[in-house]
Amino acid sequence: MDLVRDVLDVRLVDRNGQGLGRVDSIVLRLRDNGPPQFVAMEVGLTAAARRLPKPIEFLARWLARTLRPRLQTVRYGPTLFRDIGVDIELDVSAADDPRLLRFEKWLSRHVVSRMPGGSA
């Protein structure tokens, strides 16, 4: 598997097909006795911000700090891979895990659902 071609910037989906974001960063752990290991994919504005030009990185980090709830980086391990194609399917469920898609869920519950026609 090629990390840059097959993983970086690829869209992640959960086992129900719900979008989890894109892989903004890939973490390698270095070891003394053995090859580096691919240990995590990071999804989030702060993770993506590192790859942006400085002024935009500054703005992205400010947004991540200022918005409520705060935009947090989520880490997924490669052991969660279910299927790798144009999208990567992970063995998680966003609906069942409160740590996932926090901002989306907050917007849905506290903003959109309170607007006319916005509720379920």
Site of interaction with other proteins (CB under 8 A)? 1-5, 8-12, 18-22, 24-30, 34-39, 43, 48, 50-53, 56, 78-79, 86, 103-105, 107-108, 111-113, 115, 117-120
> What is the nearest approach in angstroms of other proteins to the Cβ of residue 110?
9
Sheet of 81-84, strand order: 19-22, 11-13, 87-90, 81-84
One-letter amino acid for residue 15 of the chain: R
> What is the nearest approach in angstroms of other proteins to the Cβ of residue 39?
8
For other proteins, give the closer residue by CB, 27 or 65. Answer: 27
Task: Put residue 101 in one of left, alpha, beta given phi > 0 → left and psi -120 to 50 → alpha.
Answer: left
For other proteins, give the closer residue by CB, 59 or 65. Answer: 59
Shortest CA distance to 46 belongs to which of 65, 69, 20, 21? 65
Read off φ and ψ for residue 55, nearest 5 degrees.
-60, -40
> What is the nearest approach in angstroms of other proteins to the Cβ of residue 72?
15
